[in-house]
Amino acid sequence: MPQSNDHPGLNRRSLLAAGMATLAVQQPLLALADDNWPTRAVKFIVPFPPAGPVDTTARAFSQKLGELWKQPTIVDNRAGAGGVVGAAAAAREPADGYGLFVGAIHHSVNHTLMDKLPYDIEKDFVPISFAALFPVFLVVHPSVPANNVKELIALAKSGTTQLSYGSAGNGGGTHLAGELFNMMAGVKLQHVPYKGSAPAMTDLLGGQVQIMFADAPTALPQIKANRVKVLGVANPSRSPMRPDVPSISEAGLPGYAAYSWCALFAPAKTPQAVQERINRDFNAVMSDPAVRQKLLEAGAEADPGTQEQMRKRLRAEIDKWAKVIKTAGITAS
């Protein structure tokens, strides 16, 4: 009598063997995806104009990655709408690792500041690694009768003088730094937005505004020339650019941190093996002393890490700035 093919033990054994065979095939394929990638040019979409801090950072690490991968790397500037144009373009890239996105603090802020974005920074992308942070220095006009953060807070609370701070623009990192300071210190510094850091610094030097939360390339030349007083750096800890300057947190406002940043993303559904390869190589490049020094000279501090660290930090940034935006009543302009 013929044996039945429906024997349960035989089916289980067959399924187990088939599953093991499939896994054995998949593992080399995953390794192959890692080992063979990339086989052609890799594009990095930067959502800001050339020569800015995010662009400069992207060009520094993309060049070194190209050398490591032995493939061309292309920086594609897609500026417009506070980083929205570039992010939307990057979200439409094929999920194969050949079109990556260099996002920035704007992409944690736009989440709250703008309605109906054409992308979702958490759903349309996967995190690869944070890339760099851009220190923000708290500087004041020499006439301001405060020589440290505690004295500035006391002066602002006294109401004896009207204090205003200039920023590089409404809703940007230097604006948010000032509003976070207001919120945490319980003061009301008046915000004056400018079209960029340079005109804001010009008015600070002229005394039209008394305070500025300024990016490193804008602040450091004036600090060195003693044309402004520096009270602190908004990093979580001291910056290697000016280790003599205390963090605002240690100087009188515990827990304060407000720095700009950029990070590397890939489109959602990029193969995990490719994500891991990019993260591993990216961290190796960002650990290169020559790359780190080049970034410092451009006003950026290398700040790479794991994918999970980036995922948690991005969510923390979104939540943090959402609270500041809502408390201060900031709207897109």
Tokens in use for 72?
């061309």
163 and 124 share a domain?
no
CA–CA distance, 40 with 72 (Å, rounded to integer)? 7
CA–CA distance, 51 with 298 (Å, rounded to integer)? 10
Does the pLDDT at position 16 exceed 60?
no
Taking CA atoms, 324 is separated from 41, 161, 197, 218, 312, in Å, by: 40, 25, 21, 24, 19
Q: What is the pTM of this model?
A: 0.86
% of the chain surpassing 70 pLDDT: 89
Domain boundary among 199, 219, 251: 251
130 and 145 share a domain?
no
Does 18 fall in a domain? no
281 and 244 share a domain?
no
Does the pLDDT at position 5 exceed 80?
no
pLDDT at 292: 97
pLDDT at 31: 41
pLDDT at 331: 86
Nearest to 110 by CA among 327, 258, 318, 264: 318
Nearest to 160 by CA among 174, 145, 178: 145
Does 225 fall in a domain? yes
Does the pLDDT at position 323 exceed 60?
yes
142 and 246 share a domain?
yes
91 and 239 share a domain?
no
Does 189 fall in a domain? yes
CA–CA distance, 240 with 123 (Å, rounded to integer)? 35
Sign of the CA dihedral with 157 first, then 161, 162, and 165 last: negative
Summarize pLDDT for 40-58 with one digit per residue, the tens: 999 999 999 999 899 999 9
Does 317 fall in a domain? yes
232 and 270 share a domain?
no
Does 20 fall in a domain? no
Of 30-34, 41-45, 135-139, 321-325, give the lowest mean pLDDT range.
30-34
With 0-12 CB in 10 A as exposed, 13-18 as middle and 19+ as buried, what is 333?
A: exposed
Nearest to 152 by CA among 198, 210, 193, 107: 210
Q: H/E element holding 98? A: none
Contact between residue 64 and residue 70 where contact means Cβ atoms under 8 Å apart: no
Does the pLDDT at position 30 exceed 80?
no
How many domains does one find in the chain? 2
Does 146 fall in a domain? yes
> For the domain that residue 61 is a member of, what is the CATH number?
3.40.190.150
Does 9 fall in a domain? no
Strand partners, 247: 233
Give the residue-averaged pLDDT of 302-320.
97
> For the domain that residue 169 is a member of, what is the CATH number?
3.40.190.10
128 and 266 share a domain?
yes
Domain span holding position 75: 41-134+260-328
Summarize pLDDT for 184-235 with one digit per residue, the tens: 999 999 999 999 999 999 999 999 999 999 999 999 999 999 999 999 999 9
Tokens in use for 78?
């897609």
Does the pLDDT at position 268 exceed 50?
yes
The residues, any chain, with a CB within 8 Å of residue 302's CB and separated by 6 or more, are 131, 132, 286, 287, 291, 292, 295
Summarize pLDDT for 243-255 with one digit per residue, the tens: 999 999 999 999 9
Taking CA atoms, 190 is separated from 156, 161, 167, 178, in Å, by: 10, 12, 11, 9
pLDDT at 333: 67
pLDDT at 9: 43
190 and 105 share a domain?
no
Higher pLDDT, residue 2 or 159? 159
pLDDT at 189: 97
Domain boundary among 222, 251, 280: 251
130 and 178 share a domain?
no
pLDDT at 13: 46
At 332, the pLDDT band (50, 70, 90 cuts) reads confident
Sign of the CA dihedral with 254 first, then 197, 209, and 231 last: positive
Summarize pLDDT for 126-158 with one digit per residue, the tens: 999 999 999 999 999 999 999 999 999 999 999
240 and 271 share a domain?
no
Contact between residue 79 and residue 118 where contact means Cβ atoms under 8 Å apart: no
- Residue 37: Cβ within 10 Å count: 19
140 and 229 share a domain?
yes
Does 120 fall in a domain? yes
Domain boundary among 201, 228, 251: 251
- Tell me the three state secondary structure of residue 192: strand
